[in-house]
Structure formats: structure tokens, C-alpha cells
């Protein structure tokens, strides 16, 4: 059965999934890139971004699992674009160049309509203006029985968590302190929503946690 998953989502020791002051220069906020240092060297990440080599081992196993069986993605607006409000630069097609790493339909949550954008490599960005439930329905239809991955950012994951819609989460706890930014779990009572920690493993670069929802 198709699952709604979060995978390879990095947070700091103090619980932040992004740093403060997102900008073109700091797409994950100030200091946010540090959170993902565990995944950048992996073979899976390098191949997704057009390179031919990379590290293997536990971190790569989790990175590879994160893209396995994924038929569609859901992203928040700020995962696609650093700006707020109405679209002002229609030439902007995401952070990733002409061939984004998704290679599936991607559904971007926004308050402002925009026509779909077809990119190289099988990625098409669809812009959803009527909320998280509509985005999930459209993504599941597009996934054709495969899983749907919520890529972020923090606010988007929190919306799906509060609705109890996420079936499984892989959280990578990075050995980083940000001090401020966007907290992932603040104010969310995960046990009351039915979530539990099903797995914990450690690499030299991160602690990998698998959270599942009781069925």
C-alpha cells in the first residue's frame, strides 16, 4: 500500500530542521547546510546530482532508501523558491538547475497559482493552492501505487504530522547546534498522534531515527 513518508530529513541536536533567515545565499537558513553534511558525500546523493562516485555504508544506505519506491513528492513553497507572496520571477524554476533530482511529479504547496513546469529528467512541478489534503490526493494519483515523499520544509512536514497523515519518518540527527531556526517537533505531541521510534542507528556523521505510526 502506498505510504506517505519523510526521509533523510536532518535536524540539529536542538531540534531545528532549518536555520533562520532563509535567502538565496542560505536556502536552508543560516547554518542550515551543516545539517546535511552526513548525506552530501554519499554515492546516492552524488549520483542524484549528476556525479559518478561517492561514499557507501550506513549513511548511503539511508540515502538510497529515501528515494526507493517514491512515485511523487510534496514540497512547501519555500523548498522551491526563496521568495514569499505572488510569483514575481517566472524564470525561477527551483534551486536545482534544468535537471532536478526528483525525476517524478512534484506537488508544491502555495497560495499563488502557477502553471506546471516540466523539467529535464522526468520532473514536473505542479503548484497546489487548495491545501495539504488536495496535494496528497494529487500526489498519490500521480504515484501510481508507489510511495509519496514529503520533502519539506519544516512547516509542511508539521502540517502533515499534525493531521496524522505521515506513515513513516526517517530523521537524521546531525551533531550540530543551530540555536534558532525552524523547530520540527515543537508543540507536537507525537505519542498522542500514534508515533513511536521503531529504529535507532548511528554512523560517525549522524544518528538515524525511524519513526512509525501505529496501525
C-alpha of 90 from chain center: 23
Residue 140 phi/psi, 5-degree rounding, is -65, -40
CB 184 within 8 A of CB 21: no
Q: What pLDDT sits at residue 188?
A: 97
Percent of residues, the chain, with pLDDT higher than 90: 86
Is the dihedral angle over the CA atoms 8, 11, 17, 22 positive or is it negative? negative
CB 84 within 8 A of CB 153: no
Percent of residues, the chain, with pLDDT higher than 70: 100
Domain covering 4-19+27-213 in this structure, CATH number: 3.40.430.10
Query: Tens digits of per-residue pLDDT, 192-207?
Result: 999 999 999 999 999 9
Taking residues 19-41, what's their average pLDDT?
92
Taking residues 78-93, what's their average pLDDT?
90
* pLDDT of 149 over the 90 cut: yes
Domain boundaries of the chain, sorted by first residue: 4-19+27-213
Other beta carbons within 10 Å of 204: 9
Taking residues 141-155, what's their average pLDDT?
97
* pLDDT of 11 over the 90 cut: yes
User: Any idea what DSSP says for residue 42?
Assistant: B
Query: Tens digits of per-residue pLDDT, 157-169?
Result: 999 999 999 999 9
Residues 6+ apart with CB under 8 A from 83: 89, 92
* pLDDT of 181 over the 90 cut: yes
Taking residues 177-191, what's their average pLDDT?
97
**When comparing pLDDT for 88 and 167, which is higher?**
167
- Helix boundaries (H) for the chain: 43-48, 58-67, 77-80, 132-143, 154-162
Q: Categorize the per-residue pLDDT at 52 as very low, low, confident or very high, splitting at 50, 70 and 90.
A: confident
Q: Helix or strand or coil: residue 67?
A: helix
Q: What pLDDT sits at residue 83?
A: 83
Q: What pLDDT sits at residue 5?
A: 98
* pLDDT of 50 over the 90 cut: no
Write down the pTM of the prediction. Answer: 0.95
Here the cell at position 33 is 547546510
Q: What pLDDT sits at residue 175?
A: 97
Q: What pLDDT sits at residue 46?
A: 93
Q: Categorize the per-residue pLDDT at 16 as very low, low, confident or very high, splitting at 50, 70 and 90.
A: very high
Amino acid at each position: 500500500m502506498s505510504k506517505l513518508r519523510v526521509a533523510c530529513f536532518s535536524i540539529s541536536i536542538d531540534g531545528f530542521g532549518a536555520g533562520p533567515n532563509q535567502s538565496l545565499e542560505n536556502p536552508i537558513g543560516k547554518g542550515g547546510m551543516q545539517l546535511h553534511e552526513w548525506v552530501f558525500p554519499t554515492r546516492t546523493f552524488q549520483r542524484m546530482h549528476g556525479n559518478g562516485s561517492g561514499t557507501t555504508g550506513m549513511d548511503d544506505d539511508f540515502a538510497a532508501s529515501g528515494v526507493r519506491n517514491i512515485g511523487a513528492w510534496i514540497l512547501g513553497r519555500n523548498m522551491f523558491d526563496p521568495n514569499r507572496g505572488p510569483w514575481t520571477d517566472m524564470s525561477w524554476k527551483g534551486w536545482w538547475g534544468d535537471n532536478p533530482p526528483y525525476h517524478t511529479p512534484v506537488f508544491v504547496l502555495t497560495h499563488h497559482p502557477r502553471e506546471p513546469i516540466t523539467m529535464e529528467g522526468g520532473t514536473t512541478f505542479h503548484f497546489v493552492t487548495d491545501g495539504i489534503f488536495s496535494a496528497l490526493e494529487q500526489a498519490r494519483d500521480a504515484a501510481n501505487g508507489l510511495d509519496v515523499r514529503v520533502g519539506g520544509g519544516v512547516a509542511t512536514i508539521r502540517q502533515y504530522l499534525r493531521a496524522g497523515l505521515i506513515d513513516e519518518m526517517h530523521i537524521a540527527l546531525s551533531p550540530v547546534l543551530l540555536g534558532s531556526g525552524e523547530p520540527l517537533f515543537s508543540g507536537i505531541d507525537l505519542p498522542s498522534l500514534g508515533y513511536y521510534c521503531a529504529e535507532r542507528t548511528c554512523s560517525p556523521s549522524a544518528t538515524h531515527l525511524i519513526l512509525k505510526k501505529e496501525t
